[in-house]
């Protein structure tokens, strides 16, 4: 007779997620703050690469002049 010693007996309890905590809803000023931060981040997502390329172009021009 074969005895499998790798598996524990009795079997473990099935995993269940921890209960969710009740979080208070955002107040109106905090909601505006979060929305404005997301907006600034989205704006910088598009502006920062353009500004970075411009700085590289300026650095290359200065390098070629000397």
Q: What pLDDT is stored for residue 56 in this prediction?
A: 80
- pLDDT tens, position by position, 27-58: 999 999 999 999 999 998 888 877 777 878 88
C-alpha to C-alpha distance for 8 and 4, rounded to whole angstroms: 9
Write out the DSSP string of 24-39.
Answer: PPPPHHHHHHHHHHHH
* Model-wide pTM > 0.75: no
pLDDT attached to residue 24: 85
Domain spans, the chain: 41-66
Query: How sure is the predictor about 1, in pLDDT bands with cuts at 50, 70 and 90?
Result: low
- pLDDT of 3 > 70? The answer is no
Give the span between the Cα atoms of 36 and 39, in whole angstroms.
5
């Amino acid at each position: 007779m074969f005895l499998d010693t790798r598996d524990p007996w009795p079997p473990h309890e099935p995993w269940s997620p921890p209960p969710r905590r009740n979080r208070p809803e955002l107040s109106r000023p905090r909601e505006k703050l979060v929305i404005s931060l997301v907006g600034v981040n989205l704006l910088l997502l598009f502006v920062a690469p353009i500004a970075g390329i411009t700085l590289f172009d300026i650095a290359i021009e200065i390098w070629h002049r000397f």
